[in-house]
């Protein structure tokens, strides 16, 4: 295949795979697409380890790194605040509510002395420019071909450093105005992410959004995202003007994925109606699997979720406790357990190797485009 994206990165197939799993990055890249590692939950050391491992696995093939630097978050007007400052400012009623959820569903406490939590690392809050700065430096010390900012326009520092290092820069957009801002900031490609996508999304569906962003982006290539995990959806996105696709959810049930086993089984059994946009995990609307967790937070009689990054800091240790106990699929913790996933989850009903997902998408894409071509000839 030949599109502006395959030419930009020297890849065979314009499928970019966003994933937090280094094994999926390597598998998709070796299958002819391009893996993009989500770095937000990595410590500086774990990011170094994973990037070194990826590069040893894929050789000189291209890959990307995705960072989260929101344009607006709690404390951003003051240049960012520390994790301790955010913890101190969390309302007592929110702390009580989290404790009540854990008690209601009989989630056991962590073992004595185990204070593990994904946020308990350093002074700078997750989902902030301060936290992403060392991740960017580590990424540019390695060899990714692409640096992506997942929330808002990339910062000037991100673009300047990446361009100086000879890397391409991308950003996600949920509205045409977002794409225009990204392009004015200097990005090389846009990901048009429809509301069907997992994680942070806007409200506009892909069928409407992709052509709007293509029209707004001029010569800047656009990837279609949101509800894309099969070849027919890839063909539809490219018929709407996209130069390729950006897929995330579809890798969560692959054999390589590090998805929690209980959550993975929930994904495999879910329908496309079993997701919801909720602020309950990050403080911003993020599509995720419906569960007792989202039901508790979306109840108007309970406290509203806090903003980003206060909400993820508030629930950090609770999520760790839930995930630890959710291996028992009959437990209350299992009822609470969920994760970010898009509406494509309804088609994710079989666990297979990530490379096979790529090959199946390509085969179905070819069938779909040939079917359309045949209709033109008749």
Q: Measuring CA to CA, how many Å separate 216 from each of 130, 189, 239? A: 31, 12, 16
What's the pLDDT at 41? Answer: 87
Q: Which domains does the chain have, with CATH numbers?
A: 4-74+124-257+348-377 (3.20.20.70), 81-122+272-336 (no CATH)
Q: Measuring CA to CA, how many Å separate 260 from each of 139, 289, 319, 325, 327? A: 26, 13, 12, 11, 8
250: left (phi > 0), else alpha (psi -120 to 50), else beta? alpha
Torsion angle, CA of 290/294/298/303, rounded to 10 degrees? Answer: 180
Nearest residue to 206 via CA among 16, 13, 339, 344: 344
What's the pLDDT at 378? Answer: 66
Measured CA to CA, the distance from residue 364 to residue 89 in angstroms comes to 51
Measured CA to CA, the distance from residue 331 to residue 251 in angstroms comes to 26
Q: Measuring CA to CA, how many Å separate 123 from each of 120, 150, 190, 238? A: 9, 22, 32, 43
Measured CA to CA, the distance from residue 359 to residue 368 in angstroms comes to 14
DSSP 8-class letter at 331: S
Measured CA to CA, the distance from residue 159 to residue 40 in angstroms comes to 18
What is the crossing angle of helices 206-217 and 176-185, to 10°? 40
What's the pLDDT at 131? Answer: 65
Radius of gyration (C-alpha) of the chain in whole angstroms: 20
Measured CA to CA, the distance from residue 256 to residue 254 in angstroms comes to 5
Whether the CB-CB separation of 226 and 195 falls below 8 Å is answered with yes
The sign one gets for the Cα dihedral 236, 5, 212, 210 is: positive
Give strand ranges (E) for the chain. Answer: 15-19, 34-38, 64-67, 146-149, 168-173, 189-193, 199-200, 222-225, 244-247, 275-278, 286-289
Whether the CB-CB separation of 71 and 287 falls below 8 Å is answered with no
Measured CA to CA, the distance from residue 155 to residue 367 in angstroms comes to 41
What's the pLDDT at 121? Answer: 45
Tell me the two tokens of residue 377.
């000839």
- Concatenated DSSP letters of 59-97: TT---EEEE---SS-TTGGGT--BHHHHHHHS-HHHHHH
Nearest residue to 150 via CA among 83, 196, 202, 208: 202
Tell me the two tokens of residue 38.
């989500």
Mean pLDDT by 10 residues, the chain (378 residues): 97 98 98 96 95 98 90 51 85 97 97 63 50 89 96 88 97 96 96 97 96 98 97 98 98 97 98 98 96 96 94 96 96 98 98 98 98 88
Strand 168-173 and strand 146-149: pairing? Answer: parallel
Measured CA to CA, the distance from residue 140 to residue 122 in angstroms comes to 21
HEC secondary structure over 118-184: CCCCCCECCCCHHHHHHHHHHHHCCCCCEEEECCCCCCHHHHHHHHHCCCEEEEEECCHHHHHHHHH
Cis-peptide, bond into residue 309, ω within 30° of zero: yes
């Amino acid at each position: 295949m030949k599109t502006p994206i395959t030419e930009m990165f020297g890849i065979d197939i314009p499928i970019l795979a966003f994933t937090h799993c280094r094994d999926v990055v390597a598998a998709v890249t070796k299958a002819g697409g391009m893996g993009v590692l989500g770095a937000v939950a990595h410590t500086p050391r774990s990011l170094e380890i994973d990037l070194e491992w990826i590069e040893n696995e894929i050789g000189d093939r291209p890959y990307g790194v995705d960072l989260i630097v929101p344009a607006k978050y709690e404390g951003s007007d003051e240049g960012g605040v520390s994790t301790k400052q955010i913890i101190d400012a969390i309302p007592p009623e929110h702390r009580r509510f989290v404790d009540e959820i854990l008690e209601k569903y009989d989630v056991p406490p962590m073992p004595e002395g185990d204070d593990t939590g994904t946020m308990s690392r350093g002074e700078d809050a997750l989902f902030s420019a301060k936290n992403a700065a060392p991740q960017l430096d580590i990424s540019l010390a390695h060899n990714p071909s692409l640096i992506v900012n997942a929330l808002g326009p990339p910062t000037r520092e991100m673009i300047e450093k990446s361009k100086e290092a000879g890397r391409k820069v991308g950003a996600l957009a949920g509205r045409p105005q977002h794409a225009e801002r990204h392009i004015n900031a200097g990005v090389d490609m846009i990901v048009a992410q429809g509301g069907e996508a997992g994680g942070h999304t806007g409200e506009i569906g892909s069928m409407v959004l992709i052509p709007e962003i293509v029209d707004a982006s001029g010569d800047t290539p656009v990837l279609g995202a949101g509800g894309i995990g099969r070849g027919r959806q890839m063909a539809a996105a490219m018929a709407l003007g996209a130069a390729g696709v950006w897929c995330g959810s579809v890798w969560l049930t692959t054999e390589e994925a590090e998805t929690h086993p209980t959550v993975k089984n929930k994904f495999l059994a879910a329908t496309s109606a079993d997701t919801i946009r909720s602020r309950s995990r990050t403080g911003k609307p993020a599509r995720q699997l419906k569960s007792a967790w989202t039901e508790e937070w979306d109840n108007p009689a309970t406290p509203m979720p806090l903003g980003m990054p206060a909400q993820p800091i508030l629930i950090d240790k609770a999520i760790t406790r839930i995930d630890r106990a959710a291996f028992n699929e009959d437990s209350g913790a299992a009822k609470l357990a969920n994760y970010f996933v898009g509406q494509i989850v309804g088609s994710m009903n079989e666990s297979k190797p990530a490379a096979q997902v790529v090959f199946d998408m390509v085969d179905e894409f070819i069938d779909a485009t040939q079917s359309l071509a045949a209709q033109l000839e008749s």
